[in-house]
Structure 1
Amino acid sequence: MDVLIHALVGLHIIGIAALLGGFLSQMKAMGKGEARMSPGMLHGALTMLVTGVALVGVHQSQGDTLNNIKIGIKLALLIVILGLVYVKRDEEKVAAPLFGTVGALTATNVFIAVLWV
């Protein structure tokens, strides 16, 4: 079961990298007002959602105790991120504050995962 958990964590990190990498690679374009939600950002957010839910399920099936408040907050942030990326995915230009919100929420999600024990 440990191999499955480690594989899911690895895929979860790849999803974070795709979402945050898509944001960071367009910081210059965001300053010009020309940033857009790339398909990689959408796929990264979906990967995070699927692997996160799978990780919770695997841990619960083993009887591990989980911090449901932390998981709920991370899920809520991810749903907002996913909603913004999904709705704006076909637009050529996304407003800088909206695009920045996606990056800020993603970074917040990472810091919650790492710092909240």
Structure 2
Amino acid sequence: MHLVYAFLTLVHLVGFAALFGGCLVQFRAVAPEVSRTMLVGAWTQLASGLLLAAVLELDDDPAPVDHVKLGVKLLVAAVVVLLVAKNRKFESIPKGLWGLISALTLANAVIAVFWA
């Protein structure tokens, strides 16, 4: 089970890198856009996060699973996927929306690392 968890964690990190990297590429753009890389990264984050939560639930580890933390992360990830998927069709998006997607993506990583 540990190997499955480690693999899913790697996939989750790759999804984060694709999503946040896609956001950072747009930093200096006059008219930022939602790239295919961002869309794939957002869906990868959501899917691998759900699978990671399932593995945690099935694990024999006696440590309790923090369902509130997982719920908050799921909500943030779902909002990011919604924003990215809905705005993928547009040639450009407002800077504020780009900032919101970037901030929510980074906030999800901060929640994962610092929420004990």
**TM score, norm. by length of structure 2:** 0.95
Name the residue aligned to 1:44. Answer: 41
Any idea what the Cα deviations from partners look like across 1:61-98, whole Å, max 9, x if unmatched? 12442111111111111111110100000111100101
Greater CA drift, 55-64 or 82-91: 55-64
Look up the equivalent residue of 1:116 and give its one-letter code: W
CA deviation vs aligned residue, 1:1-56 (integer Å, no higher than 9, x gap):
11110000000000000000000011001xx2x10000110100111111111111
> CA–CA distance in 1 between the matches of 2:26 and 2:59?
41
How far apart are the structure 2 equivalents of 1:48 and 1:93?
23
Once structures 1 and 2 are overlaid, which stretch shifts more, 49-58 or 59-68? 59-68
Q: Map of 1:1-117 to 2, 5 A cutoff?
A: 1-29=1-29, 32=30, 34-64=31-61, 65-117=64-116
Percent of paired sites with the same residue: 37
Q: What is the root-mean-square deviation of aligned Cα atoms in Å?
A: 0.8
Structure 2 unmatched ranges of 5 or more: none
Divergent runs of 4+, >4 A? none
Report the 3-state secondary structure (helix = DSSP H, G, I; strand = E; otherwise coil) of the residue aligned with 1:93.
Answer: coil
Gaps of 5+ in 1: none
- SS of 1:36's equivalent? coil
Structure 2: how far apart are the matches of 1:70 and 1:59? Answer: 13
TM-score by length of 1: 0.94
